[in-house]
Structure 1
Amino acid sequence: MSTALKRFNGGARAALTTLLLISILLPPVAQPVRAQGGFNLPDGFVQEEVVVGLKLPTSFAIAPDGRIFIAEKAGRVRVFHKGELLAEPFIDISGEVNDYGSRGLLGIAVDPAWPRRPYVYLAFVYDPPEIKDRNKSGARVSRVVRLTADSKDLNKALPDSGVVLVGKNSIARYVGNPDQGDAEPFSCLDENKRPVRDCIANEGDAHTVNMVTFGPDGALYVAVGDGIVNSRGNPRALDIDSLNGKILRVDPDTGKGLRSNPFFDGDPDSNRSKVFALGLRNPFRITVDPRNGRVIIGEVGNQKWEEINIAEPGANFGWPCYEGPEEAASYADCRPYRSGELAVVAPTFAYTHTAQPARGAAIGGDLYLGRTFPPMYRGAYFYHDYNGGVTN
């Protein structure tokens, strides 16, 4: 299956009612752009095909010199450079990636100081060698790694340059049930059933480590789903000592938690020292606002609600005790939230699955801070709903 990377450029005119935008402060109500075989764009916008010949591309990152690094689901990183999709990949780690279902290589980032810092960062579901031949749908774990580009050819990664930044203990030893997904025993737990340090669980075939990106502060942000559909495991999204169901904020050189993080406990290697925000089900795509460092999250919902969230340091969005504006507890102790002892941050914008066209997966998007689009779009947040096939 080959797919393409596309973009759309704005002209001088646009109709407000043809695009649903999320303002950072106030969400207006309007109609979406349909995305079936392409975008039905507002007047004055043009869709362009940028890269063709890709196989299940999941994410891309544009380097400061203009080359585009594109992650393919199975584990290859392709490079688009000087108008050409290069035949040889930057790297192929398909032997390490579990790409069953919605798993795979899902996140990629380029160091903002490229090429002085010639680093590319990848987020993927890891297949430990000891269990890679077991049931592919069984439990696995996830990792974030940093690769170094060859100074003689920046389109190639140096062999054996990979450094595990997050998920050093995402290894076979801590995989709970490699033969059955969404089943106990759960992963990344020690003998006392407490979260293992630096281990990201992935029982389900979705809700994985989803994205890596940089903030204006130079920190590396990592979006991690709760890693499971089985409701008995959902509460780890609220456990500050678990890396699942979180936005992490780490040092891009070491993977350690930063002293400025909201839950830093004096030990930069502890799980809680890496947490920026928590209580998330499946933060598929995030955007760090370069103007203020706030994290905008496309949070894929469960039974009823989809969310766009804005995270300040320490924000708790309440999953699984809350979905959208409603209580949605299952196998979780939600009493501290109901009593007000612990605060829950409400979604900035939420919509139900009954919205038309039928929607069900707010996978996130990006801010527009350029000057090409008409003024009404500047500072707006564009997001996509996968089920509805609409860009908003």
Structure 2
Amino acid sequence: MITQLTQKVLILILMLLATPISAGDYRIETVASGLEHPWSLAFLPDGRMLVTERAGRLRVIENGQLLAAPVEGVPDSLVRKQGGLLEVLPHPDFERHPYLFLTQSVGAPRANATRLIRGRLKANTLTDVEILFEAAPRRSRPLHYGGRMTFLEDGTLVLGLGDGYDHREDAQRLDSHTGTIVRLNPEDGSVPTDNPFVDRDDALPEIYSYGHRNVQGLVWDAQTGILWSHEHGPRGGDELNIIEPGANYGWPAATHGIDYSGAIISPHTSLPGMEDPVHQWTPSIAPAGMTLYRGDRFPQWQGSLFVTSLVEHHVRRLTLDGVQVVDEEILFEEVGERIRDVRTGPDGALYLLTDKADGRVLRVDAPPAR
């Protein structure tokens, strides 16, 4: 039985956990600089860090130093507007299977697509490169590629895609990868037999969910079995979603946003048969990277989602109660730069990427003990 004293203690603990954190409760240090629009960050078991530059290069940070030479053997990307080299994701059992999964834009400015490749990392070279997937059809503008990835508990890989900007109506079609999340077997890019549309002749079998605008964050929470995703809206209507296989997330039939011209995209913010966002941002914050914090450096952040904001130049910490967002805190405004990615490091610190021509890798750590 919970006593009155126990209840008071629990309430006090919850109040302490809910107290906004101040800059004095963490410190930010620069790990590396001189990166050209860094897009994605990943960690290897031996302590190395990998960073993609949208300009098409994969870089290595070793023993705290950015190696001068990029990784060799990375195929060329279409580097145009939002396109280039995007996500890097190591195999979950990298020590036994030293593969990297990379997303990139390919093709020509008027005929381009998001591509997923896999290669084996040997020293500072990517070898045995294979194309596992390319979104179809190709699109006419180099915008809205998606590109974020994560592994699910069963070892399959999910990849978020965009609507190509000018092709938003196609996000409601199942015969196009436009505006979808796809699920693949990482060994060869084949389709898992339990994908939701494998038995439909009118649907592409890779599709896991659809009705997305431009997926920019994907996180699998092994503790809860939830796949979190966020995506850019237009003017307003950035969304945080929980992804279910086969579900339709509404774009552009239902949205909280309006067009950049001010025109109404849809009169509906919700429609039957379509999933509503768990949380939405209007006006837009332009969410980019996302991580679920399970580290030990910041106990008060346990179980929080962190979402970077390109527009606001900060990070949002979302406090969760199950599948609900119950609080939102703005952090790291002092960085003063577009923040493209946020990751939880194996050391329990948070790592940030700043998106500019002279971009940085930043480490957010607890202050030293006094």
Instruction: Please report the TM-score for the alignment, with normalisation by the length of structure 2.
Output: 0.73
Question: What is the distance in 2 between the residues matched to 1:17 and 1:351?
Answer: 23
Tell me if structure 2 keeps the 8 A contact 1:58–1:73. Answer: yes
Please state how far the C-alpha of 1:149 moved relative to its aligned partner: 1.9
Kindly indicate whether residue 66 of structure 2 is the aligned counterpart of residue 85 of structure 1: yes
Question: What is the distance in 1 between the residues matched to 2:154 and 2:34?
Answer: 35
Question: What is the distance in 1 between the residues matched to 2:293 and 2:95?
Answer: 25
**Helix, strand or coil: the match of 1:201?**
coil
Kindly indicate whether residue 275 of structure 2 is the aligned counterpart of residue 294 of structure 1: no
Kindly indicate whether residue 306 of structure 2 is the aligned counterpart of residue 382 of structure 1: yes
Of residues 251, 255, 267, the one that matches 1:319 is 251
**Helix, strand or coil: the match of 2:295?**
coil
**Helix, strand or coil: the match of 1:264?**
coil
Question: What is the distance in 1 between the residues matched to 2:299 and 2:225?
Answer: 25
**Helix, strand or coil: the match of 1:248?**
strand
Q: How does 1:1-392 map to 2 (within 5 A)?
A: 16=18, 18=20, 41-91=22-72, 93=74, 96-127=76-107, 137-150=109-122, 153=123, 155-158=124-127, 161-167=128-134, 199-228=136-165, 230=166, 233-265=167-199, 272-324=204-256, 330=265, 338=271, 340=272, 343-353=273-283, 359-375=284-300, 377-392=301-316
Tell me if structure 1 keeps the 8 A contact 2:73–2:126. Answer: no
Residue type at the aligned position of 1:226? D
Tell me if structure 2 keeps the 8 A contact 1:247–1:275. Answer: yes
Question: What is the distance in 2 between the residues matched to 1:325 and 1:87?
Answer: 43
Residue type at the aligned position of 2:50? F
With over 3 angstroms needed to count, the CA separation of the structure-2 counterparts of 1:293 and 1:163, relative to structure 1, is farther
Please state how far the C-alpha of 1:15 moved relative to its aligned partner: 8.1
With over 3 angstroms needed to count, the CA separation of the structure-2 counterparts of 1:296 and 1:104, relative to structure 1, is same
Tell me if structure 2 keeps the 8 A contact 1:220–1:252. Answer: yes
With over 3 angstroms needed to count, the CA separation of the structure-2 counterparts of 1:312 and 1:69, relative to structure 1, is same
Question: What is the distance in 2 between the residues matched to 1:297 and 1:290?
Answer: 14
Please state how far the C-alpha of 1:326 moved relative to its aligned partner: 9.5
**Helix, strand or coil: the match of 1:235?**
helix
Tell me if structure 2 keeps the 8 A contact 1:301–1:362. Answer: no
Please state how far the C-alpha of 1:98 moved relative to its aligned partner: 1.2
Structure 1, unpaired ranges of 5+: 1-13, 20-40, 168-197, 354-358
Question: What is the distance in 2 between the residues matched to 1:207 and 1:54?
Answer: 22
Residue type at the aligned position of 2:170? R
Residue type at the aligned position of 1:110? P
Residue type at the aligned position of 2:120? T
Tell me if structure 1 keeps the 8 A contact 2:197–2:203. Answer: no
Please state how far the C-alpha of 1:92 moved relative to its aligned partner: 5.4
Please list the CA deviations of residues 43-77 of structure 1 after superposition, one character each: whole Å capped at 9, or x if unmatched.
31111222223222111211233221111111111
Question: What is the distance in 1 between the residues matched to 2:137 and 2:39?
Answer: 20
Question: What is the distance in 2 between the residues matched to 1:72 and 1:280?
Answer: 25
Question: What is the distance in 2 between the residues matched to 1:249 and 1:87?
Answer: 35
With over 3 angstroms needed to count, the CA separation of the structure-2 counterparts of 1:108 and 1:224, relative to structure 1, is same
Query: Which residue is 1:31 aligned to?
Result: none
Please list the CA deviations of residues 95-114 of structure 1 after superposition, one character each: whole Å capped at 9, or x if unmatched.
x3111111111111100111
**Helix, strand or coil: the match of 1:285?**
strand
